[in-house]
Structure 1
Amino acid sequence: MTDEMLTQLGMNLAVPAFIAFLMFVIWDLAKKSNAGKMGTFALFIALGVGFLGYTIKIVLQFVINK
């Protein structure tokens, strides 16, 4: 396995798994703090914007390279 293959594997598997874990952490934080519907929404928006940017980057790279 080359370095490039390992990097690609990590970007395709590890980063989305890490994002899913962080979404669980945000949900758990909202639940434990009794944030309510609006507070939970605000947490996901405020903390999830970076994930959205990463997802958009992946989609744009796929479209450009295709």
Structure 2
Amino acid sequence: MFGFTEAQIASFGLTFGVGGFMLYMVFIVGQLAWESKAGKFGTFVLFLALAFGMVGFVAKYLIQWYLTR
């Protein structure tokens, strides 16, 4: 499709699609902290607990980038 292979389209979707979804999840966690009036420590705990899974995805992407250089 449009001169791209299936692997290129999948790589683009995984990188930018999931990345955009992760940014949206950060917005949701921030909105949750704001509406619940969690305070500084509560906001930190929310981001630590709810957004910690995203660190693994970003680390995986960075490790792949580093090893393929």
TM-score strictly above 0.5: yes
Count residues in correspondence. 66
Larger radius of gyration: 2
Percent identity of the aligned residues?
Answer: 35
Q: TM-score, normalised by structure 1?
A: 0.92
Runs of 4 or more, structure 1, over 3 Å off, are none
Mapping for residues 24-63 of structure 1, pairs under 5 Å: 24-63=27-66
Does 2:17 match 1:11? Answer: no
Where does structure 2 lack aligned partners over 5 or more consecutive residues? none
Does 2:26 match 1:20? Answer: no
| Alignment RMSD | 0.9
Where does structure 1 lack aligned partners over 5 or more consecutive residues? none
Question: Larger helix proportion, structure 1 or 2?
Answer: 1
